[in-house]
Every structure is written in C-alpha cells, then in structure tokens.
Amino acid sequence: YSFFEGRPTWPEYHRDLTYAFLPDNELSNTTKEVFTRAFERWAAVTTLTFTETDSYYEADLKVAFYTGDHGDGEPFDGVLGTLAHAFSPTSGRFHLDGAETWVAEGDVTKSSTSSAIDLESVAVHEIGHLLGLGHSSVEEAIMYPTISAKTRKVELASDDIQGIQELYGANSNYTTPPSSSSPNSHQENTSNGGDH
C-alpha cells in the first residue's frame, strides 16, 4: 500500500463522512446500492462511517458520472482506458467515466459485452483514494491500478486493510482473517448476488 504525498487523511474530528450522488445523473437505487456496499467494505475495517445524504453540495464525498472534459483537468477518454479517478482527502471528489459499460448487478464475468466493467470493483478502488490510499503494486490488492473488463474484484486484501488501518485505525469489530487464506481469495469472479 501507499499514501498520497504528505499523507493526507480525513481529520480525527471528522470521521463520520457523508456521501451523495450528482443529481443530474439520476442514478437508480440499484446503482446507489453498489456504492453503499463499496463504502461498507471500507467501514468494516476502519473507524470511519459513511452515510448517504441528499445534499450533494454539502456531502463530504461527491460521486458523479461525467464524460470527456468535465472541468477538473483530467478528461475521460471514452470506452475503457481510464475508468474513473478520485481525489485525496479532503477533496471528496469521485468521478466515473460515463462512457463505460458499467455493470451494477449480475455476473459481469458472463456479460455479453466485452467492455463490461464491474461498477462495485471500481467504486471500492476509488473510495480507497478518497480516504488517502495511493496505488499498490500488490496485484491482489484493491488499490492495484488496473482492472480488466468482465472482472470482479471487490474484497479488500490484507495490503489494503493494513494501509487504511495505518491511517485511521481498525474497526473494533474487525478481526484479522486467518493467515492461511490464499491471496486469490481476494479476487472474486462470481456473481454479486448479495453474499457479502
């Protein structure tokens, strides 16, 4: 794991964070639930909490789908290529490329579209950035920078957990998994049918 330059974090007095979706995107509840699950994965291992709010402009974390140049100097490039980006604490901006074929539900590995991208996988990664993690060289880690189409990878790896707990401490309910677990267990290539 790694951190952004200067190791920015959400301040100690501000660890209960709110998130909201750009109203113009008119996301369905199914899509919003994907992000909720992604936030919960990080909340489960840290002292942070995440609550959805309707007030986009007052939310700590702002989720928005854009295409092409959207004004932050990091234009999106159409299908595949760059999928999303997120800013370090305490910016809270989380942008996804609206040109991608995002899959919010169902088994992405069986998608009939060769460019299908699993939304939750990307959401878990970008939330890591919002919280202060940089990229990791550990291929099993969520914070590894690349993800292939039709792939699902949503489980935090020990590398991700060690990194985020170094920044915020551990959730009191979190227990370290047994060391015998295979690194491959972090890669999930099956349906996201509510087993998490």
Partner 1 sequence: RIHPNISPTPPWQVPNDTAKGAWDSFKNFTGCRPGQKSDGLSKLKDYFKNFGYIPDSQHNFTDDFDDELESAIKTYQKNFNLNVTGELDDKTIENLMKSRCGNADIVNGTSTMNSGKPASSNSSLNFHAVRH
By C-beta, is 115 or 190 nearer to partner 1?
A: 115
Ramachandran class of 93: left when φ > 0, alpha when ψ lies in -120 to 50, beta otherwise = beta
Of the candidates 126, 140, 155, 188, the residue annotated as catalytic is 126
**Count of alpha carbons within 13 Å of 196, Cβ hemisphere only?**
21
CA distances, 10 to each of 71, 73, 92, 156, 162 (Å): 24, 24, 10, 20, 17
81 binds partner 1 (CB under 8 A): yes
CB of 13 to partner 1, least distance (A): 27
90 binds partner 1 (CB under 8 A): no
Pairing relation of β-strands 61-66 and 93-97? parallel
State which of residues 102, 156, 164, 167 lies at the interface with partner 1 (CB under 8 A).
102
Active-site annotation holds for 52: no
Token pair belonging to 53: 């709010």
Pairing relation of β-strands 61-66 and 49-52? unpaired
By C-beta, is 60 or 118 nearer to partner 1?
A: 118
165 binds partner 1 (CB under 8 A): no
State which of residues 23, 24, 77, 185 lies at the interface with partner 1 (CB under 8 A).
77
State which of residues 14, 23, 79, 190 lies at the interface with partner 1 (CB under 8 A).
79
The amino acid that residue 68 corresponds to is G
CB under 8 A: which stretch of 12-20, 40-48, 154-162, 166-174 binds partner 1?
A: 154-162
85 binds partner 1 (CB under 8 A): yes
123 binds partner 1 (CB under 8 A): no
Across the strands, what pairs with 66?
97
- Look-up of token digits 């789908």: 65
Closest to 102 measured CA to CA, from 87, 129, 83: 83
Contacts to partner 1 from residues 7-36, by CB under 8 A: 27-28, 30-31
| CA 143/CA 134 separation, integer angstroms | 7
Residues identified as active-site: 126
User: Interface residues with partner 1 (CB under 8 A)?
Assistant: 1-5, 27-28, 30-31, 65, 74, 76-86, 98-108, 110-117, 119, 122, 125-126, 129, 134-140, 145-149, 158-159, 162, 179, 183
